[in-house]
Amino acid sequence: MASTVEKFVIKTPCSSANIGPGFDVIGLALSMYLELHVTIDRTKTSSTHPLNCRITYEGEGEGTDEISLDPQVNLLTRVALYVLRCHDQRTFPLETHVHIKNPIPLGRGLGSSGAAVVAGVMLGKEVGGLHHLTLERLFDFCLMIERHPDNVGAALFGGFVGTYLMPLAPEDAARVEVPLSEVLPAPAGGVDTGVRPPEPPHGIGHHIKFPWAPEIKAVAIIPEFEVPTAKAREVLPAQYPRPDVTFNLQRIALLPVALGHSPPNPQLIYLAMQDKLHQPYRQTLIPGLTEIVASMTPASQPGLLGVCLSGAGPTILALATSNFDEIADRIIARFKQNNIVCNWKLLEPAEGTTVTRA
């Protein structure tokens, strides 16, 4: 007989997108995890909680406006509800409790929102019993919400990935252009109109996994201030000089090969991690970024392979094979010259999102 209380845990890694030249293309899943501890108590016949869902939360942003415990407002549960409503389920099952454990710092370029979107899509699948939804199909749902594929691709599939979007048929293009407020009605539309949200077209995005040399670790230097990704995208130009585009194309052709090769070649990796499409413009939001990237080289720092902005920033990602403390201390000292306080973490490539049943 099926149990009346169902329990499972969804675990989603954080991510570092771009890795220098791979703007909106490359993502790396890293070993810091968002966890959802979910309980569905089917003995309940009614709920006092909106949408039959109670949220509790511990971790980054706990108790702040950034993390709502209202399932009609919280990003994670709104995403889950989007998946459910595309499948004619209007609420969570009676009665759902989602306990969120989140060590991923918010707005720092370590993919907290990407992880929340991926975990939310998986939550919708699991509570809705939507077993036919493959990871590839879940990726389509993620891309209706997080419009760049790099960090959601890494958080969903794991490892070091290249992601790409398919050209869409005109009718599908119209469907992905719908306002986010229609995809994720907030607060769940106020009044439930019973209208199905727009479903994602099939096969919007794809990914390919690249090899990763086992010697390479990631040092994340995390400033204490936030840069919302939306703001860090607003500072980017609409058009680029051709030599800058060529510069990035030359490096992106090297990057996956250089990072997959064992033993790693520091000079090649350093060269392959240079960027002219996003980091120079984001310098305006992240004091010291250009000097840090320019000053940290394998020649001046043993063990270092390369340095880049993590995602939209402000975290700096240093790839290295040794001397992790020394590398972190040097970058922290540079930030300190601009009165910016940081902490740091040593991370490793991680597997993608998993669901474990009790």
Ligand X SMILES: Nc1ncnc2c1ncn2[C@@H]1O[C@H](COP(=O)(O)OP(=O)(O)O)[C@@H](O)[C@H]1O
Ligand Y SMILES: N[C@@H](CCOP(=O)(O)O)C(=O)O
Q: Is the Cβ of residue 232 or residue 292 nearer to ligand Y in the bound state?
A: 232
By CB under 6 A, tell whether 306 contacts ligand Y.
no
Among the listed ranges 38-46, 229-237, 256-264, 266-274, the one in contact with ligand Y (CB under 6 A) is 229-237
24 binds, among ligand Y, ligand X, none (CB under 5 to 8 A by kind): ligand Y
Nearest-approach distance from CB 210 to ligand Y, in angstroms: 16
Query: According to CB under 6 A, which one of 22, 111, 197, 201 is a site residue for ligand X?
Result: 111
Could you tell me which of 313, 309, 284, 311 has the C-alpha nearest to residue 294? Answer: 309
**Degrees to nearest 5, angle at CA 115 with 109 and 120:** 145
Task: Give the N- to C-terminal CA distance of the chain in Å, as an integer.
Answer: 16
Could you tell me which of 24, 55, 206, 208 has the C-alpha nearest to residue 119? Answer: 55
Q: Return all residues near 238 (Cβ < 8 A) that are at least 6 apart.
A: none
* Contact between 204 and 169 (Cβ < 8 Å): no
By CB under 6 A, tell whether 233 contacts ligand Y.
yes
Q: Give CA separation, 226 vs 105, 109, 176, 236, 243, in Å.
A: 9, 9, 28, 18, 31
Concatenating the DSSP letter of every residue in 273-318 gives T--SSSHHHHTTTSTTHHHHHHH--TTTSTTEEEEEE-TTSS-EEE
Sign of the Cα pseudo-torsion (246, 295, 257, 316, in order): negative
326 binds, among ligand X, ligand Y, none (CB under 5 to 8 A by kind): none
By CB under 6 A, tell whether 105 contacts ligand Y.
no
74 binds, among ligand X, ligand Y, none (CB under 5 to 8 A by kind): ligand X
CA atoms of 18 and 28, how far apart (whole Å): 8
By CB under 6 A, tell whether 109 contacts ligand X.
yes
Q: Return all residues near 251 (Cβ < 8 A) that are at least 6 apart.
A: 20, 21, 271, 272, 273, 274, 275
Query: According to CB under 6 A, which one of 102, 229, 248, 353 is a site residue for ligand Y?
Result: 229
Nearest-approach distance from CB 317 to ligand X, in angstroms: 12
Nearest-approach distance from CB 28 to ligand X, in angstroms: 14
Q: Is the Cβ of residue 143 or residue 269 nearer to ligand X in the bound state?
A: 143
Q: Give CA separation, 281 vs 113, 231, 275, 312, in Å.
A: 22, 12, 11, 11
18 binds, among ligand X, ligand Y, none (CB under 5 to 8 A by kind): ligand Y
Query: According to CB under 6 A, which one of 91, 229, 274, 321 is a site residue for ligand X?
Result: 229
Query: What are the structure tokens assigned to 322, written together?
Result: 């040794």
CA atoms of 22 and 153, how far apart (whole Å): 13
Chain residues 310-349 in contact with ligand X, contact rule CB under 6 A: 311-312
By beta-carbon distance, which residue lies closest to ligand Y?
A: 311
Query: According to CB under 6 A, which one of 6, 41, 66, 136 is a site residue for ligand X?
Result: 66
Query: According to CB under 6 A, which one of 52, 72, 102, 279 is a site residue for ligand X?
Result: 102
Nearest-approach distance from CB 345 to ligand X, in angstroms: 14
Among the listed ranges 82-90, 145-153, 210-218, 295-303, the one in contact with ligand Y (CB under 6 A) is 145-153
Query: According to CB under 6 A, which one of 12, 13, 17, 306 is a site residue for ligand Y?
Result: 17
150 binds, among ligand X, ligand Y, none (CB under 5 to 8 A by kind): ligand Y
Q: Is the Cβ of residue 226 or residue 348 nearer to ligand X in the bound state?
A: 226
* Contact between 310 and 317 (Cβ < 8 Å): yes
Q: Give CA separation, 148 vs 113, 121, 145, 209, in Å.
A: 12, 16, 9, 17
Site residues (CB under 6 A) for ligand X? Answer: 34, 66-67, 74-76, 100, 102, 106-114, 116, 228-229, 311-312
